Amino acid sequence: MRKKFLSVLLAGAMLFAVAAGCSSKKAGGKKIGVSMPTKSLQRWNQDGDNMKKELEAAGFEVDLQYANDDISVQVNQIESMINGGCKVLVIAAINGDSLGTVLATAKEKDIPVIAYDRLIMNSDAVSYYATFDNYKVGTIQGEYIRDQLDLDNAAGPFNIELFTGDPADNNANFFFSGAMDVLNPYIDQGKLVVKSGQKDFEQVATQGWKTENAQNRMDAIIAANYADGTQLDAVMCSNDSTALGVANALEANYTGKYPIITGQDCDVTNTKNMINGKQSMSVFKDTRDLAKQVVEMVKAIMDGKEVPVNDTKTYDNGVKVVPSFLCTPVFADANNYKTILIDSGYYTEAELAA
């Protein structure tokens, strides 16, 4: 009896080991690498967390890593993901031109690459691109300024300054182009005046999207153009980190009526600034939606099905036009932030309390 019991127990253990081995093999075959640029900006923490949550809920094993805005670190992390058995890579690049060599290795190993929110440039290894309609983001910001200043009816002139993002981030070009396609006709008419004279992308770009860089530049603009009490009517900022730098400089050095300030991402600090009248609006890109869409793309790749895209013409990375899925952005301001941000569950009221 004892011998029979031991035989059954041993057989059960062997079956468990086989099952465990199959389970481990299956999990290993569903490993997804997610590379985020930094933890220093709120939005990338949210993106990474949302992505990991959605992918794990879909049954994938996730290798999520943050590169601390260090290109060499990101390259090493992606190499680790490739060598660690990841079957798909989802990458938000620090620098869109910096990943060609490591992604060539991914292509050699038939590992599809989804560029996440930032297009990876000059590489034929990029399989797909998932983002928001970045040109539309800028359009929304330009239209907000147009409508708030009533540029089609008011006499003007109104003074405006311009801030966009990192020149190495391809998205910054789309944001800036979208806004300026709305604003340039009014600049050409003289209804909008850029007193600093800084209007070209290279002049208004903000290295690293860093708040301190935007603040330093705004300090200099105020000192040279607005310290005498000249009214500043609007500042077009492409995102919230640059908008925060502008707001900090205005609070320290500007005595006139607060200008319209645009932004993007609805970061907590900036949303509080909107509530308190220190920022006018922020374009909201619900990263939960983007994460869900990326999961659908990953699932399609892993199942050998057609990958869902809705744009096959716009995003040329210098080597190929990358099939893309574009989510739709909206804007939040002091009038609608409760509906957009709180009622949707993105933030709680406590998180936005002063």
Q: Write the pLDDT tens digit of every residue in 5-32.
A: 334 333 444 333 333 333 333 344 599 9
Kindly state whether residue 6 falls inside one of the protein's structural domains: no
Q: Write the pLDDT tens digit of every residue in 46-70.
A: 889 989 999 999 999 999 999 999 9
pLDDT given at position 191: 97
153/106 same-domain check: no
Q: Write the pLDDT tens digit of every residue in 107-146.
A: 999 999 999 999 999 999 999 999 999 999 999 999 999 9
Question: CATH number of the domain that 174 lies in?
Answer: 3.40.50.2300
pLDDT given at position 6: 39
Kindly state whether residue 216 falls inside one of the protein's structural domains: yes
Residue 215 CA from chain centroid, whole number: 21
Which residue type occupies 240? D
Torsion angles phi and psi, residue 253, rounded to 5 = -130, -5
The whole domain housing 146 covers 135-284
Kindly state whether residue 12 falls inside one of the protein's structural domains: no
Of 248, 269, 284, the residue at which a domain comes to its end is 284
Rounded CA-CA distance 262/269 in Å is 14
pLDDT given at position 100: 87
Q: Write the pLDDT tens digit of every residue in 68-112.
A: 999 999 999 999 999 999 999 999 999 888 998 999 999 999 999
Q: Write the pLDDT tens digit of every residue in 221-254.
A: 999 999 999 999 999 999 999 999 999 999 999 9
Nearest to 56 by CA among 309, 312, 299, 341: 299
The answer on pLDDT for 299 being more than 50 is yes
Residues of the chain with pLDDT > 70: what percent? 92
Distance from the first to the final alpha carbon of the chain: 72
106/143 same-domain check: no
Kindly state whether residue 348 falls inside one of the protein's structural domains: no
Q: 285: how many CB neighbours lie within 10 A of its CB?
A: 23
pLDDT given at position 29: 58
Instruction: Tell if the pTM clears 0.85, that is, is over it.
Output: no
81/203 same-domain check: no
Rounded CA-CA distance 270/282 in Å is 8
Nearest to 296 by CA among 99, 94, 58: 58
Residue 300 CA from chain centroid, whole number: 23
pLDDT given at position 20: 37
142/194 same-domain check: yes
What's the structural domain count of the chain?
A: 2
Kindly state whether residue 272 falls inside one of the protein's structural domains: yes
147/208 same-domain check: yes
165/295 same-domain check: no
Rounded CA-CA distance 216/82 in Å is 40
Kindly state whether residue 13 falls inside one of the protein's structural domains: no
pLDDT given at position 103: 95
Q: Write the pLDDT tens digit of every residue in 321-354.
A: 999 999 999 999 999 999 999 999 999 999 998 6
Kindly state whether residue 11 falls inside one of the protein's structural domains: no
249/112 same-domain check: no
**CB–CB of 159/196 below 8 Å?**
no
**Beta bridge pairs of residue 32:** 62, 88
